Amino acid sequence: MGSEELGGNMMGVVLEMKELQKSYGQNHALSQFSYTLTEGIYGLLGPNGAGKSTLMNIITDNLLPDSGDILFNGEQTKIMGKDYLKVLGYTPQHQGLYNSFTASRFLFYMSALKGMTKNEAKEQIPRLLKFVNLEDHMYKRLGHFSGGMKQRILIAQALLGNPKLIILDEPTAGLDPKERIRIRNLISEISFNKIILIATHVVSDIEFIAKEILLLNKGVLIDSGSPHHLTKKLEGFVFEIKTTPNNLPSISSKYMVGNISKDNEHVYVRVISDEEPIDYEFVKVRPTLEDVYLRWFDMEERK
């Protein structure tokens, strides 16, 4: 399944979110959220309760905001109605599949819900099953699928109808490393001429494929930009301390600790700090997106 088949025509796609607000009582799940997405992959990062699910439910029209607007290619999605749903694909975090359905039957069922004709479904489903490497399992019941296979069939159903906007909620949750890599590569392949928004806790899943990262906490967009842009902000603030096990409690209480490793003689502690850890032997190291995540969200927990 080539990029032309996945991407359709060459028209650009733009999703504008303007001052989205959503509250549950006194809890502000989303506060004046504004952002514009264009073709490519975006990562949505944040701890539990950050507002990621609220934002995705608003984008997918499962939830109405208290105020604010979403525009797709300049048109308000609330006015587009079913036309908006036709350009939308969604993979939920929780795999609520019909275990008695075969893969083929499930995709035909989902195609009907999306308003596709039988001919359209017959033309697309074999290609989609091949694309997600499930063509040899099309008549296998979903109840017998592994976690990775279930996630791939959910991605396949999200691609039915060749949507231009795809929302993926924790697409690699609970998968082993090999299956996570397979899913990550699939996401990269389908990103041509589409907007893909991925909500995840697994930073490594998006560090190398996302063109921009959105950091969300308590309903507020606290930072955003390319992975390079975000990590560059931390240059000079990430260090590796060479020490002994006896010093670990003191280091952990004083610094944000990102990683601890050891060899036969020493312990190496990766820390994030505004000041150089001059009480220890250290070297400056290159920041990663995981350091950025720790910087923002561990800092919040310490307040």
In a domain, 59, yes or no: yes
Q: Write the DSSP string, 185-204.
A: HHHHHTTTTSEEEEE-S-GG
| Residues 177 and 273 grouped into a single domain | no
| Residues 49 and 191 grouped into a single domain | yes
User: How many Å apart are CA 197 and CA 42, to the nearest integer?
Assistant: 5
- Average pLDDT on 63-90 reads 94
In a domain, 297, yes or no: no
In a domain, 18, yes or no: yes
CATH number of the domain where residue 94 is located? 3.40.50.300
In a domain, 130, yes or no: yes
| Residues 185 and 247 grouped into a single domain | no
In a domain, 129, yes or no: yes
- Average pLDDT on 193-202 reads 91
In a domain, 231, yes or no: no
User: How many Å apart are CA 155 and CA 60, to the nearest integer?
Assistant: 15
pLDDT over 90, % of the chain:
73
| Residues 209 and 281 grouped into a single domain | no
| Residues 277 and 176 grouped into a single domain | no
- How many structural domains does the chain have? 2
Q: Which amino acid is at 255?
A: Y
Q: pLDDT grade, residue 41 (50/70/90)? A: very high
| Residues 11 and 152 grouped into a single domain | yes
| Residues 67 and 162 grouped into a single domain | yes
User: How many Å apart are CA 210 and CA 192, to the nearest integer?
Assistant: 13
Question: Beta 14-24 vs 27-38: how paired, if at all?
Answer: antiparallel
pTM given for the model:
0.88
Beta strand ranges found along the chain (DSSP E): 14-24, 27-38, 40-45, 67-72, 75-76, 88-91, 165-169, 195-199, 212-217, 220-225, 238-243, 256-262, 267-272, 281-284
Question: Domain range spanning residue 55?
Answer: 3-226
Question: Over the stretch 79-128, which tens digit does the pLDDT of each residue have?
Answer: 998 899 889 999 987 667 889 999 999 999 999 988 899 999 999 999 99
| Residues 247 and 118 grouped into a single domain | no
| Residues 81 and 167 grouped into a single domain | yes
Among residues 206, 226, 246, the one where a domain terminates is 226
Q: How many residues does the chain have?
A: 303
pLDDT computed for residue 130 by the predictor: 92
Among residues 187, 202, 226, the one where a domain terminates is 226
